[in-house]
Amino acid sequence: MSRLTEFERQVERLRKKIEELKALGKHEPALIEEIENKFKKKIEEFYSNLTAWDRVQLARHPNRPHAIDYIKGVFTDFIELHGDRHYGDGKAIISGFGKFNGQSVCIIGQEKGRDTKEKIERNFGMPLPEDYRKALRVMKLAEKFRIPIITLVDTPGAFPGIEAEEHGQSEAIARNLYEMAKLKVPIVSVVIGEGGSGGALAISVANKLLMLENAIYSVISPEGCAAILWQSQEKVKEASEALKLTAQELLKLGVIDEVIPEPLEGAHTNWKETFKNFKEAVGRALTSLKNLSEEELIKERYRKFRRL
């Protein structure tokens, strides 16, 4: 059991006890207030000292909002487009057009699925080549009609199976990197959960790259890193620290442009506040890009990735 999971269970038990005390101690509000203040302080102390592995757990939390939740909670008038016009319709990426603050935008989101049936249908958020080709087709449409692109990154990585290799996985990812670098419209990417390797990079070649406070973005998963470097899954905590995969570390390194704050205990505890913070940050990013010419957008994107 992880440190975070155990703390969450302790917090839940304490919350129940406080509710019981409230019911019994109606005539002692000062005592209840004192207990609540101590309780809040304990939570604040814990979440202000999260390890990299703790943030990995939060990024993967089962109740964390997914791409489809952001599409429903932040955007309006969304119309999904299907098919890559080559082979099929990948289900791990949702692509389409909608409105953001009244402005038409292209939305590309990696979706993991919530229950077992959805996870299987969405391939656990691991895109196939047809997912990437569909996403690029829709992004090219956005470029044609001069519509900004917003991508929502949340994947453990591109699907590594034989089927994906047979359909040209590496070529599809490379093609997206190449084509996104040249798109003549603003691109804002947000890592909302996991940003795993080339599977994430294939939809995040952006002018502005943002991350939720407890999201992660790295070249490999902590488990994969631990297996390669130490041949042991017991070293995932060390691997998490070594990878510098947290939003805070990546901001220091200049990999990302902004960290979007989450509610104290994580995005999964208050979707409404998370969506509000997301909306404000993406709005700022789009505003900062709106007056750039097509040539300036491409040059800025190029310079950004050359610096990395």
**HSE (side-chain half, CA atoms, 13 Å) at 61:** 20
Backbone angles phi, psi at 57, to 5 degrees: -65, -40
Note whether 42 and 64 are same-domain residues: no
Does residue 24 share a domain with residue 128? no
The answer to whether residues 25 and 142 belong to one domain is: no
202-258 confidence digits (pLDDT tens)? 999 999 999 999 999 999 999 999 999 999 888 999 999 999 999 999 999 999 999
Both 109 and 251 in one domain: the answer is: yes
**Please, are residues 247 and 215 in contact by the beta-carbon 8 Å criterion?**
yes
The tokens describing 232, both together, are: 């042991």
Q: What is the pLDDT of residue 35?
A: 77
**Cβ 198 vs Cβ 158: under 8 Å:** yes
Task: Determine the pLDDT at residue 9.
Answer: 83
Three-class DSSP category at 65: coil
Q: What is the pLDDT of residue 26?
A: 63
CB 231 within 8 A of CB 218: no
- Quick: pLDDT tens for 84-141: 998 999 999 999 999 999 999 999 999 999 999 999 999 999 999 999 999 999 999 9
**Residue type at 17 in one-letter notation:** K
- Own/partner pairs, 242-249, CB within 8 angstroms, 24+ separation: 243/52, 243/218, 243/219, 244/218, 245/52, 245/56, 245/216, 245/217, 245/218, 246/52, 246/55, 246/216, 247/55, 247/191, 247/211, 247/212, 247/213, 247/214, 247/215, 247/216, 247/217, 249/52
Q: Are residues 103 and 25 in the same domain?
A: no
- Quote the percentage of the chain above a pLDDT of 90: 77
Helix (H, G, I), strand (E, B) or coil at 163: helix
Q: Domain count for the chain, please give it.
A: 2
Domain identity same for 28 and 144: no
Indicate the SS3 state at residue 80.
strand
Write out the two tokens for 70: 């952001």
Q: Per-residue pLDDT averaged across 66-79, rounded?
A: 97
> 197 and 173 in one domain?
yes
Write 164-168 long-range contacts (CB < 8 A, 24+): 164/128, 164/129, 167/87, 167/128, 167/129, 167/130, 168/129
Is a pLDDT exceeding 80 seen at residue 2? no
Question: Within this chain, do residues 174 and 198 fall inside the same structural domain, yes or no?
Answer: yes
Q: What is the structure's pLDDT at 27?
A: 60
- Helices vs strands, H then E, count in the chain: 14, 8
- Please tell me which residue, 203 or 27, carries the higher pLDDT value: 203
Q: Tell me the C-alpha distance between 220 and 35, whole Å.
A: 43
Burial-class residue 231 by CB neighbours within 10 Å (0-12, 13-18, 19+). Answer: exposed
> How far apart are alpha carbons 91 and 69 in whole angstroms?
15
**What is the reported pLDDT for 24?**
67
- pLDDT band with cut points at 50, 70 and 90 for residue 1: low
Which CATH number do you get for residue 164?
3.90.226.10
Average pLDDT over residues 268-273: 95
Rounded Cα distance, 85 and 119, in Å: 24
Same domain, 22 and 111: no
Give pLDDT, residue 249.
96
Domain that holds residue 26: 3-49
Q: Does residue 276 have a pLDDT over 90?
A: yes
Residue 99 sits in the same domain as residue 202: yes
Answer for the pair 149, 203: CB distance below 8 angstroms, yes or no. Answer: no
Q: Are residues 38 and 169 in the same domain?
A: no
- Token digits for 233? 């899954």
Asked whether residue 297 falls in the same domain as residue 266, the answer is yes
CA distance 282 to 260: 9
